[in-house]
């Protein structure tokens, strides 16, 4: 009879130890989940604040007229502007940059055309539509500052 009690006592101790270990693991997993959730929330808030800041800056600069002056164009069609952020000989490289921009929430598209004075095709990556050249310039500067893969940009006219 004593032998059975001893086995039962060891089993109870083992259950307590296992329960404590499980509780500790659950607390650690819970803490990791909270930290990851907070990190995702902070990233989303940062991105939103950057976009809002960029929009406010563009609006302020347009309203003040201190950044760039616009030439008045009298045409039948309304001009818009876009920002060219890349020019590639390979369509695959251009598509990769478009994918990178779109994954960050920027609508982008590809324009293919002949490279000047050659028979080669150039693939240009364009993003954004703006009513003024000044807004496009500010967007290009902000985009270049935000993304390390953008080393230069060019503002281009597009028609509706």
Q: Burial level of 58, CB count in 10 A (0-12/13-18/19+)?
A: buried
Residue in the block written with tokens 């807004």? 135
Mean pLDDT by 10 residues, the chain (160 residues): 55 82 92 85 77 70 52 57 90 89 88 84 90 88 83 82
**How would you label 85-103 residue by residue, b for 16+ Cβ within 10 Å and e otherwise?**
bbbbeeeeebeebbebbee
Residue 112 confidence (pLDDT):
87
Residue 159 confidence (pLDDT):
65
Residue 44 confidence (pLDDT):
78
For 136, other C-beta atoms within 10 Å of its C-beta total 27
Determine the CATH number of domain 71-159.
Answer: 3.30.70.1070
Q: Is 117 left (phi over 0), alpha (psi -120 to 50) or beta?
A: left
Domain boundaries, the chain: 1-66, 71-159
Residue 66 confidence (pLDDT):
47
Q: Is 150 left (phi over 0), alpha (psi -120 to 50) or beta?
A: beta
Residue 71 confidence (pLDDT):
45
pTM of the complete model beyond 0.85: no
Residue 16 confidence (pLDDT):
85
**CA distances in angstroms from 2 to 5, 14, 152, listed in the order given:** 5, 19, 84
Residue 68 confidence (pLDDT):
44
């Amino acid at each position: 009879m004593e032998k059975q009690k001893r086995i039962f006592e060891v089993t109870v101790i083992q259950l307590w130890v296992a329960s404590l270990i499980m509780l500790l693991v659950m607390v650690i997993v819970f803490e990791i989940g909270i930290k990851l959730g907070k990190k995702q929330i902070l990233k989303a808030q940062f991105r939103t604040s950057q976009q809002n800041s960029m929009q406010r800056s563009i609006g302020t600069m347009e309203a003040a007229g201190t950044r760039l002056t616009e030439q008045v164009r009298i045409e039948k069609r309304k001009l818009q502007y876009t920002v060219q952020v890349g020019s590639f000989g390979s369509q695959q490289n251009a598509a990769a940059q478009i994918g990178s921009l779109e994954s960050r929430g920027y609508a982008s598209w590809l324009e293919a055309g002949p490279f000047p004075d050659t028979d080669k095709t150039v693939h240009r990556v364009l993003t954004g539509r703006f009513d003024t050249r000044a807004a496009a310039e500010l967007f290009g500067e902000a985009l270049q500052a935000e993304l390390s893969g953008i080393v230069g940009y060019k503002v281009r006219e597009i028609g509706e």
